[in-house]
């Protein structure tokens, strides 16, 4: 995606993948202070580690507790930010066909991805967010972390709690923020309990159609996977690094065949 955008923008740069052991992370981040670098991105499990190596961490990233992107300033300072929350917001509002404001949201999961999802929902004006997770204590900790974000309410419980099923009945949006459907079979959300106007959003994008999304489509619900979130994240970081916006269509055209190929190989 990024290389296609660099080419389209006429920028002499490339996006490189580095697979690092824990002891190699700090030297790699320090190298990115050099003038040859625009910035970098980070995947688990190094998002918190890299946050501590930046010269500045933006407020949203600090609140979420993870840095997944870093921009190099002209003087070599590294500024950590997070594209998960704004990427999710862009993808989910496209799927819903409306803003998140005043929406009732149900989220399955309480891991790193769920942190960004819950923050984005509350910050985007959701009226109520219900978090369900296998480990209830993790859901409670997540709810406490974001209790002061936005003006909406937030409640946490187990995925098997009858109150979680009850929350689905009035949900405008149901989000799977777990790896169920990708790394393990099954579904985290009973789509039969959702109202006819609800949207189902699965952060998983490989495979592009999970059992959850198939079930949602069978019911005629609005649905989307995480591919538009992925593209939105990429465009946000690219613009931060280069000052060039509007690369969504270029990135979408570049990544769509790759996601299809990955699914076929899997």
Active-site amino acid positions? 47
Residue count of the chain: 266
Q: Which two tokens stand for residue 197?
A: 């106007």
Q: Residues 29-39, buried b or exposed e (16+ Cβ, 10 A)?
A: beebeeeebbb
Is the distance from CB of 114 to CB of 142 less than 8 angstroms? Answer: yes
Place of tokens 């946490």: 156
Quote the DSSP letter at residue 87.
Answer: H
Sheet of 199-202, strand order: 153-158, 128-133, 104-108, 173-176, 199-202, 222-224
């Amino acid at each position: 995606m990024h290389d296609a955008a660099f080419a389209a923008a006429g920028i002499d740069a490339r996006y490189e993948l580095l697979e690092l052991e824990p002891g190699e992370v700090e030297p790699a981040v320090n190298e990115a202070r050099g003038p040859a670098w625009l910035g970098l991105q980070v995947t688990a499990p190094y998002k918190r580690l890299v946050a501590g190596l930046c010269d500045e961490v933006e407020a949203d990233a600090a609140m979420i507790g993870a840095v997944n992107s870093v921009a190099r300033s002209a003087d070599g300072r590294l500024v950590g930010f997070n594209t998960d929350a704004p990427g999710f917001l862009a993808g989910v509002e496209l799927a819903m066909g409306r803003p998140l404001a005043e929406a009732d949201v149900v989220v399955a999961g309480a891991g790193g991805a769920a942190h960004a999802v819950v923050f984005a929902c509350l910050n985007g004006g959701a009226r109520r967010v219900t978090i369900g997770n296998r480990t209830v204590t993790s859901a409670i900790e997540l709810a406490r972390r974001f209790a002061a974000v936005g003006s909406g309410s937030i409640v946490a419980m187990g995925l098997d709690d009858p109150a979680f099923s009850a929350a689905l009945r009035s949900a405008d949006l149901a989000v799977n923020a777990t790896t169920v459907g990708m790394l393990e079979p099954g579904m985290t959300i009973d789509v039969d309990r959702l109202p006819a106007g609800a949207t189902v959003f699965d952060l998983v994008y490989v495979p592009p159609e999970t059992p959850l999304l198939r079930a949602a489509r069978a019911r005629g619900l609005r649905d989307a996977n995480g591919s538009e979130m992925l593209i939105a994240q990429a465009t946000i970081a690219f613009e931060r690094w280069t000052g060039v916006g509007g690369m969504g269509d270029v990135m979408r055209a570049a990544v769509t065949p790759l996601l299809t190929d990955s699914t076929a190989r899997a």
